[in-house]
Structure 1
Amino acid sequence: MRIGNLVSTRLGPRLFRRVAPLTVTAWEVPGEPVPFAEAVSQSFQPFSAGDRWSRPWGTTWFHVTGQVPEDWGHDGTTVQLLVDIGFSGLLPAFQAEALVYRPDGSIVKGIEPFNHVVDVDPAGGAEIDFYVEAASNPNMLEHFFVTTLASAAGGAPLPSGFASPRRADVLHLGDPATAGTDPIYTLRQVALVERDLAVDALLQDVSVLMGLLGQLDPASPRRAAIRHALERMCDILDPDDIATTVTPARSVLSDVLASPAHPSAHSIVAVGHAHLDSAWLWPTRETVRKAARTFSNVLTLMDADPGFVFAASSAQQFAWVKQFYPELFERIRERVHEGRFVPVGGMWVESDANMPGGEALVRQFLLGQNFFLREFGILSSEAWLPDSFGFTAAFPQIALSAGTDSFLTQKLSWNDTNRMPHHTFLWEGLDGSRIFTHFPPNDTYGSDLGAADLAKAQRQYAERGASNVSLTLFGWSDGGGGPTPEMLGAARRNGDLEGAPRVTLGSPSQFFAEARRTLPEPAVWYGEMYLEAHRGTYTSQARTKLGNRRSEHLLREAELWSATAAVRGLIDYPYGELESIWQTVLLQQFHDILPGSAIAWVHDEAEEHYRQVAVRLEELIGTAQRALAGHGTETVVFNAAPVIADAVTALGATVAGAPGPAVAPERTDSGYVLQNDRVVVRFDTTGLLVSFVDRNTGRDLIAPGEAASVLQIFRDIPAMFEAWDIDRSYQRSVTELRTPDSVEITDRDLLVRHSYGNSSVVQRYRLAGSDAEVQIETTVDWHEQEKLLKLAFPLDLRADQAASEIQFGHVLRPTFVNTTWDHARFETVAHRWVHVSEGGFGAVVANGSTYGHDITRSVRDDGGTTTLVRESLLRAPKYPDPEADQGVHVLRTSLGVAADVLHAASAGYRMNLPARAVDNADHGVEPVVSISAPSVYVEAVKLAEDRSGDLIVRLYEAAGTRVRSLIRPGFAFTTAWSTDLLERPVDEQKWHSPDSIELEFRPFQIVTLRITPERAKS
């Protein structure tokens, strides 16, 4: 207490020897942010400390002028500009921030809550002239503290600096239309300060030693020595004469600070980091400015500390800086070439790793790595997703084939039931690919390098004994900010300090090289890395998820038909337009956008982006298809889904009549029937689907006494993180909609209408003449709060496991609960389909935009087994977007017979890639590529990134079996060869026309072929 009191009341206040006022004028931007040149040309008005500035999400420019006093900057001091625009003492990422410019428009550095001083020319008489662009970003975390943490603490008071707004007020700050116009911040101080460097150093010495004191055994000699030294420091430091006694006071700490670490101490490679979310509790336009603030702070630190290394992911953020802050980007480029500013990840953004389609994950790497190569001349060797919400089993193969050899995350430290058994290991993916993986054992991507964090890393490192090195990411995170001088001071003092791990400033590649060297035979984790938290992100913000799914498939079609037309000389391939669209779609896959965990502003923008993308892609598809089909009197049906004909899978278009109509529903005494030559689907008089009979086997899919396609509504109030989490307790409160408002036959559809609370639902059932699946369109006008809507299918199958589609394949998950790992996996992700089977008989539940599922089984009294497949259709969380999922949604599902996963996959493809009929056409279109093996699917057809005109064909094995296949291009070609995902050759083998291309695929292998059309040689 004596030490703490002395530091906080006597030493800390003497950090600044003197303070001098400055002149401040201001101009408030009336709308969205403006560039520097436009801002400084405005009329600035006098402004003073105590004045309030800017509405929520507003911007105020301050012009700061003055002069350094003549006698400052001597005798162990430096001169700084201190700017306090109204900071609280809370987390820095969630409040006001600013960027400081010189009069010529060059950037000085960012102003953050815990990093709000700027070094200036210390010469007496030097002129002060800065512009400060201040952003009044509201604190969207207040709701979290106000309604969650405070109540969890039994009504404990809020942290210092927090107001107590009404919940609704805080929530509506996430939408500029409802955020209000009153100023929300008060300018506290803008002044020159004379910083005492010796006091600064002593404060950092004491901070490190006090932190270490708290981690040591109370009986240890080391702790006693540190405490004794600190007490001697207090004796020597004279509160009435700090300037004279601070240096002698520091000297008595020198021995305990110089005592080296134990030879067996854990070794930590500390990498500067900021983990800047590309959108979350702020829109992407604010992320652009956050990137400039963070990166300029980093460059300032690099000027002061030549050993400091900083790692930043997300090519999108670098691209923003290049576009909006070109001078800053050039400074970054210089540091990248020095190896100190390290681009990592190789991805366009730190995307979600569960819901993006396979080709989208490929493009995350393709666009990201190409940007890094083009701008910096490097490829990232580290895949980097510290905060994404679980990891698909397809990721190792994708990451390795995209030029990376290592992977970093820490998110699985959030597991609510089981702890991951390793921190450094090989992660084996679906196909057998293994990537060297590390979880920082201090469980954070934003360490302050304090003693508690360092001790936690040493204490928790799972591989200790076999290896003794881990990585720590340090710097303020989530909203950027990054490392501070104090963190670097802690790193230096902890470099070789008795009682603490050794800390070395370094790069990710240095860490991974050392980890590989010291752990030559790491353990292996196989399959997906499921996050036992944030299960609601598979469902929240359904419109965003629909936009993503639709955009991915429209891109597939636009590329396929444009490439087909281009290699035949019919159109010019739209390289630039497609790349721009991909950049938009990939940005929306960021791990707080696609998962549905951002503010309303972010999701409103995402939905508008998806609308624009759809318009642009439909135009590209139409142009290409018209060029391919010609002009005549025929109808040509274009199909972008894998279609098996004559044992060959092809993507093409055929002359055909209009698609056949659905069968008409029949009314019977017991209800309604939809039937064709393959299935008989029966509904009772209330419109419940009570029977689904496969004519081939005579088996009924629906469990005895049950009904399928039943709407279930659950109470959904997670203990924390509303948009993110679904708690298991939801299962204990369910209402089933079994009594409809009406049942009617309309044209060829059966319509069943329900109402619940303030919401209404229309289920539309349709059966095509040749399908083995019934189509279910669920239109929901949703106005519930904190509810979860599921669609349930109790099936008469004893399925020990369910196959769920993921990127480039599927995973098998148990339907039973034997272990705590099974218990925690109560909500899972699937892409277009899930498949459950009993022997050779099975069912598929396919979807058009749904990702969340739960699949369980139970034994009936008759001895049979019911396997229950449920889709999670909608939620209604209130934080961070109080209007999440409100309004009208159209959700598409199908239920059908599927003997195996390939039949299930076919249903999923057909739902998401319906055939397109083009009238007034002349002829069909030969497939641009045909595949002989039914289990090998074409995922993408495009032209090469280098704009050479070469065709790129991406294929994968979908059944999980080894298979040989012939690949036949539908055009004359000169050469073909295999490439990695970056379109670089992977071996020396080449094929030459007219040879067909023969390949052997291992289970779930991704293969990329590059084919040079014959015309490219003319």
Structure 2
Amino acid sequence: MHDDRVLVEQRIARILRERLLPAVHGERAPLRVEVWHAPGEPVAAVEAIGATYRPVEAGEAWGPAWGTSWFHLTGTVPTGWAGRAVEAVVDLGFPAERDGFSAEGLVHRPDGTAVKGLNPRNTWVRVADKAEGDERVDLYVEAAANPELHEGVASYLGDVETAGDQPLYRVRRIELAVFDEQVWELVRDVEVLAGLMHELSPDEPRRWNILRALERALDGALDLQDVPGSAAAARAVLAPALAAPANASAHLVSAVGHAHIDSAWLWPLRETVRKVARTVSNVTALMDDDPEFVFAMSSAQQWAWMEEHRPDVWARMREKVATGQLVPVGGMWVESDTNMPGGEALARQLVHGKRFFLDRFGIETSEIWLPDSFGYTAAFPQLVHLSRSRWFLTQKISWSQFNRFPHHTFWWEGLDGSRVFTHFPPVDTYNADLTGREIAHLVRNFSDKGAANRSLVPFGHGDGGGGPTREMLGRAARLRDLEGSARVRVEPPARFFEQAHEDYPDAPVWVGELYLELHRGTYTSQAENKQGNRRAEHLLHEAELWSATAAVRTGHPYPHEELDRIWKTVLLHQFHDILPGSSIAWVHRESRTTYRRLFAELEEIVGAAQRALAGDPDGGGEVVFNAAPHARDGVPARGAQPARTTGEAVSCTSRDGGFVLDNGLVRATVDARGLLVSVLDLGTDREVVAPGAAANLLQIHPDLPAHWDAWDVDHTYRRTTTDLTDLDAMARVDEPGGAVGVQVRRTFGASSATQTIALAPGARRVDLDVEVDWHETETFLKAAFPLDVRAERSTAETQFGYLHRPTDVNTSWEFARFEICAHRFLHVGEPGFGVALVNDSTYGHDVTRTVRPDGGTTTTVRLSLLRAPRYPDPETDQGAHRMRYALVPAADLLDATREGTRINLPQRRVPGGATVEPLVGVDHAGVVVSAVKLADDGSGDVVVRLYEALGARARARLELGFPAAAVEVTDLLERPLPGADDPVLDGGGVALALRPFQVLTLRFTRSD
């Protein structure tokens, strides 16, 4: 039989485009259109509706980038339309197929309440289900002139300060129209059957049955000159093909309404508030029409924005949560990055997210919902468990460049052995349209055939595109039980997870991080924001610790509200396009300003608590506050210690045009080029720098990835390397605390760098400081440390522990990790000797090995310092930066942990004469206290979170510096943890037994 499917598909596409779709809104009538252009930033609906409007001319231009125009639509439904459905069709000049990425609108009633959103693929608003005729139409549209920003194109439209004032859009179509339901239904019939036919093989009779039914409907029953009059007849021809039931073994699809709204990306935070309002207005209106429609919405921050800024939308949300149609998911404050936030920050994402849904709705969310983050830390499964969540969902791993992940449903095992039931939707998108083609791809793509038979599809236009549409729901209804297709059910994600878990309890196990083989540049782009996040996390640690200590010891008021607000702000800026550096210039400009404000607030909170503890500032004394462990021998952590100086004075001698620094523990040699050519650990008489090599070597590479400039680093960048060895100046410098260093200045391209190499008395490390005035473009800056170590693996700190990664490239999986993420340290070593590189703000690293002619192995560790992508921010990282790091020779993992913490939590000296004992202390150096705070409920209980940091079982004693009446093990939300054995208070402390990398939260009730 001749296969004329291609011809049929081409004819179907044309008939849909030129005949059926125009006939959905066939009869039209004019509306009067007036406009008011809001000056500056958006205003409230009530203010805008009360403004003075003027008539709009046909095709009038509107909307400078980021501007807002309000359109007032008035008119009367024609009397001849009585008994028919009537809609306003509003096309503000939307670019085709660009939902969520250009102009958008929100329709309001005259009282200022929201009706629904408008975007390129959703331009209608219902006026009457069954018109009476002569009804008055009175609507206001808040139109946002968000500019189109195309991938890879450097544009200054990404910041209101540089975008200019030229209008971007022209009004295209604003009118009343009759909505022809029969034509609309015919469109759904045709597109579902045609999409399914396209995916069926020529050997399947079902394909031919569909093809012939479409031919009979479109060539026989449908009159192309009278589509409305013949639509019902065409539908009748197609009805048998749509009524044929699916096979008994058909794959089961849980379709979950969804709208992936980035909390910031190609738009600023303030625009996301409006995007959420538009989308939620859309979906709640759909829920009125379809009681079975379910929409899952993550990101407690986005819910909180509606509560704060749009009480009308918030009221509708509460209504639909009560019916079970609007489902909170995710349990996180935002859909955050998970590579770079610290452990405590990831815990607080879950604390603040889950608590919001509990407080507002009494709902305990069960899913961790992160469709689009850029890889997932191995610490996550334990945090899922400790938050009392059960399941994890992402789709992003399907984007990996080199290796296909082997499962779609599996158990994910984390650092400590905790496991979470996990699903990757095989549809390979988190913005599905629910087409027949998507569903067919899902079935073919599903990796766990034979063992499992269910998958989940998040459907809906994202990024402000309005979420699910009535068209998607129409397709879902037809795919519910259709021969040749999977069975599709619109239902909440919990139902899918419960059924999938029941069906597949013995799913395979994946151990360790879920590394995304893409977007590796996000560890480095927008360095100042990464520094802001790191500093904010550690300042919050100090603020909670010293405020709790001062509250317990002196009655100093604990700043609950301030800390809650600051935490939520930091968590918001960990969103997966803010912290990774992949947003427009406006977003990052604002985030830098926000971090500076938070630093000032946190410094004041820390200072106030420490002053309360230090006592009389005029007594001539000084209290040294240590918020970090500082000794190997188990000196109680996080207390205030007397000032002391240890170690020999540092000597600095000139040699061969360079300098030699020596503090009795380490001898560092800087050659005439200003490069670190020797680091000798005097205790072991072991040289660290590889023979003939130089460390602290700045290197630059051209950096133009194939796609996604701010996101990606391609492995090909390594093919061209320029060592920065030219020297402008070099001199000795004396630093505070007796440290002595060598300062080196270099220029390269349009940029300059000032490096300081220093030793401090009593410190077994080389402190390194670089200030870069960066004015390169599409260039990658690294700092290289070629080490005389044969390391089979690198060890990178991650949240609440560390990860081992092979340094070889035996497999494609290992090759794909050519850029890796580490937190405060990266360690490499061989039996008996190791080296750590610690940092105060750097996340991107790479580790390579080479064998030298002498047979020795050089392991080179490099920090990724700066990038200069042009999209979406053409000025990424331009300007002054300062990074600090340190090389620690003869280091084990305890040294790496200690020094990594020290560089991020330096001592503070405060005038005063009081003796301040630690509020808590741990006698095991491998057990790290992550947080000391007062309980969030205001009870005054002391909460201590700690974890085993070295990957070994640990028996430790937690000493208390306050009287306690009771102790219990809690979850992250400070509630009793089911199944946990509470430790026993014994003589002012508790004995603990921790498994490797275990995170433990203890809540202490204070006694009088």
In the TM superposition, what is the alpha-carbon distance from 1:249 to its structure 2 partner? 1.2
Does residue 853 of structure 1 match 2:845? yes
Report the counterpart of residue 74 of structure 2 in structure 1: 65
Any residues of structure 2 matched to 1:583-598 within 5 Å, and which? 583-598=568-583
1:99 to 106, 118, 122: 106
Runs of 4+ in 1 over 4 A off after TM superposition: 657-662
Give, in whole Å, the separation in 2 of the partners of 1:988 and 1:696: 44
Does residue 793 of structure 1 match 2:806? no
Give, in whole Å, the separation in 1 of the partners of 2:625 and 2:834: 29
Report the counterpart of residue 7 of structure 2 in structure 1: none
Does residue 965 of structure 1 match 2:972? no
In the TM superposition, what is the alpha-carbon distance from 1:49 to its structure 2 partner? 3.1
RMSD: 1.4
> 692-701 or 332-341: which moved more?
332-341
Give a deviation string over 1:226-271, Cα, whole Å, max 9, x none: 1111111121111233333221111010000000111111110000
In the TM superposition, what is the alpha-carbon distance from 1:13 to its structure 2 partner? 2.2
Give, in whole Å, the separation in 2 of the partners of 1:657 and 1:992: 33
Residues matched between the structures, number: 987
2:56 to 44, 47, 53: 47
1:86 to 79, 88, 93: 93
Does residue 876 of structure 1 match 2:885? no
1:625 to 607, 610, 628: 610
Does residue 668 of structure 1 match 2:660? no
Q: Secondary structure at the match of 1:721?
A: coil
In the TM superposition, what is the alpha-carbon distance from 1:343 to its structure 2 partner? 0.7
1:939 to 913, 916, 930: 930
Give, in whole Å, the separation in 1 of the partners of 2:183 and 2:858: 72
Report the counterpart of residue 318 of structure 2 in structure 1: 333
Give, in whole Å, the separation in 2 of the partners of 1:10 and 1:530: 48
Q: Secondary structure at the match of 1:650?
A: coil
Give a deviation string over 1:366-414, Cα, whole Å, max 9, x none: 0111111011111210001100000110010011111210000010101
Q: Secondary structure at the match of 1:884?
A: coil
Give, in whole Å, the separation in 1 of the partners of 2:954 and 2:907: 28
Give, in whole Å, the separation in 2 of the partners of 1:251 and 1:511: 34
Does residue 780 of structure 1 match 2:767? no
Report the counterpart of residue 277 of structure 1 in structure 2: 262
Does residue 196 of structure 1 match 2:180? yes
Q: Aligned AA for 1:188?
A: R
Report the counterpart of residue 294 of structure 1 in structure 2: 279
Q: Secondary structure at the match of 1:595?
A: coil
1:997 to 990, 995, 1003: 990
Report the counterpart of residue 972 of structure 2 in structure 1: 981
In the TM superposition, what is the alpha-carbon distance from 1:123 to its structure 2 partner? 2.3
Residues 649, 569 of structure 1: CA spacing in aligned structure 2 closer, same or farther, 3 A cutoff?
closer
Give, in whole Å, the separation in 2 of the partners of 1:263 and 1:952: 54
5+ residue gaps, structure 2: 1-9, 735-739
Q: Aligned AA for 2:858?
A: T
Give a deviation string over 1:122-156, Cα, whole Å, max 9, x none: 22111111111000000112xx2xx6xxxxxxxxx
In the TM superposition, what is the alpha-carbon distance from 1:3 to its structure 2 partner? 3.3
Any residues of structure 2 matched to 1:767-916 within 5 Å, and which? 767-916=759-908
Tell me if structure 2 keeps the 8 A contact 1:87–1:96: yes
2:340 to 355, 379, 394: 355
1:120 to 104, 113, 127: 127
Q: Secondary structure at the match of 1:200?
A: helix
In the TM superposition, what is the alpha-carbon distance from 1:662 to its structure 2 partner? 7.5
Report the counterpart of residue 36 of structure 1 in structure 2: 45
Does residue 600 of structure 1 match 2:592? no
1:217 to 201, 212, 220: 201
Tell me if structure 1 keeps the 8 A contact 2:216–2:237: yes
In the TM superposition, what is the alpha-carbon distance from 1:646 to its structure 2 partner? 5.2
Q: Secondary structure at the match of 2:636?
A: strand
Give a deviation string over 1:667-699, Cα, whole Å, max 9, x none: 224620111121111111221111101111100
Report the counterpart of residue 551 of structure 1 in structure 2: 536
Tell me if structure 1 keeps the 8 A contact 2:34–2:53: yes
Q: Aligned AA for 2:93?
A: G
Report the counterpart of residue 713 of structure 2 in structure 1: 726
Report the counterpart of residue 6 of structure 2 in structure 1: none
Residues 114, 525 of structure 1: CA spacing in aligned structure 2 closer, same or farther, 3 A cutoff?
same
Give, in whole Å, the separation in 2 of the partners of 1:3 and 1:903: 68
Report the counterpart of residue 430 of structure 2 in structure 1: 445
5+ residue gaps, structure 1: 148-166
> 348-357 or 260-269: which moved more?
260-269
> 740-749 or 837-846: which moved more?
740-749
Tell me if structure 2 keeps the 8 A contact 1:635–1:657: no
Report the counterpart of residue 686 of structure 1 in structure 2: 673
Q: Secondary structure at the match of 2:179?
A: strand
Give, in whole Å, the separation in 2 of the partners of 1:430 and 1:657: 38
2:501 to 506, 513, 516: 516
Give a deviation string over 1:705-758, Cα, whole Å, max 9, x none: 111000000011101100000000000001001221111113333111111110
Report the counterpart of residue 478 of structure 1 in structure 2: 463
| TM-score, normalised by the number of residues in structure 2 | 0.97
Q: Aligned AA for 2:211?
A: R
In the TM superposition, what is the alpha-carbon distance from 1:959 to its structure 2 partner? 0.5
Residues 515, 255 of structure 1: CA spacing in aligned structure 2 closer, same or farther, 3 A cutoff?
same
Report the counterpart of residue 689 of structure 2 in structure 1: 702
Give, in whole Å, the separation in 1 of the partners of 2:633 and 2:502: 53
Residues 386, 550 of structure 1: CA spacing in aligned structure 2 closer, same or farther, 3 A cutoff?
same
Tell me if structure 2 keeps the 8 A contact 1:898–1:904: no
Q: Secondary structure at the match of 1:579?
A: helix
Report the counterpart of residue 1010 of structure 1 in structure 2: 1003
In the TM superposition, what is the alpha-carbon distance from 1:990 to its structure 2 partner? 5.3
Give, in whole Å, the separation in 2 of the partners of 1:662 and 1:781: 33
Q: Secondary structure at the match of 1:398?
A: helix
> 183-192 or 289-298: which moved more?
183-192
Q: Secondary structure at the match of 1:649?
A: coil
Residues 603, 305 of structure 1: CA spacing in aligned structure 2 closer, same or farther, 3 A cutoff?
same
Tell me if structure 2 keeps the 8 A contact 1:662–1:766: no
Give, in whole Å, the separation in 2 of the partners of 1:710 and 1:310: 53
In the TM superposition, what is the alpha-carbon distance from 1:93 to its structure 2 partner? 1.1
Report the counterpart of residue 699 of structure 2 in structure 1: 712
Tell me if structure 2 keeps the 8 A contact 1:69–1:124: yes
Report the counterpart of residue 153 of structure 1 in structure 2: none
In the TM superposition, what is the alpha-carbon distance from 1:570 to its structure 2 partner? 3.1
Report the counterpart of residue 179 of structure 1 in structure 2: 163
In the TM superposition, what is the alpha-carbon distance from 1:364 to its structure 2 partner? 0.4
1:138 to 143, 147, 155: 147
Give, in whole Å, the separation in 2 of the partners of 1:54 and 1:172: 16
| TM-score, normalised by the number of residues in structure 1 | 0.96
Q: Aligned AA for 2:800?
A: F
Tell me if structure 2 keeps the 8 A contact 1:277–1:480: no
Tell me if structure 2 keeps the 8 A contact 1:661–1:768: no
> 698-707 or 985-994: which moved more?
985-994
Q: Aligned AA for 1:647?
A: G
Residues 898, 33 of structure 1: CA spacing in aligned structure 2 closer, same or farther, 3 A cutoff?
farther
Give, in whole Å, the separation in 2 of the partners of 1:898 and 1:543: 31
Report the counterpart of residue 616 of structure 1 in structure 2: 601
> 423-432 or 768-777: which moved more?
768-777
Q: Secondary structure at the match of 2:638?
A: strand
Give, in whole Å, the separation in 1 of the partners of 2:542 and 2:647: 22
Report the counterpart of residue 948 of structure 1 in structure 2: 939
Give, in whole Å, the separation in 2 of the partners of 1:232 and 1:800: 67
Report the counterpart of residue 655 of structure 1 in structure 2: 642
1:16 to 16, 19, 25: 25
Q: Aligned AA for 2:825?
A: W
Tell me if structure 1 keeps the 8 A contact 2:649–2:663: no
1:434 to 419, 436, 452: 419
Residues 646, 262 of structure 1: CA spacing in aligned structure 2 closer, same or farther, 3 A cutoff?
closer
Does residue 530 of structure 1 match 2:515? yes
Residues 58, 659 of structure 1: CA spacing in aligned structure 2 closer, same or farther, 3 A cutoff?
farther
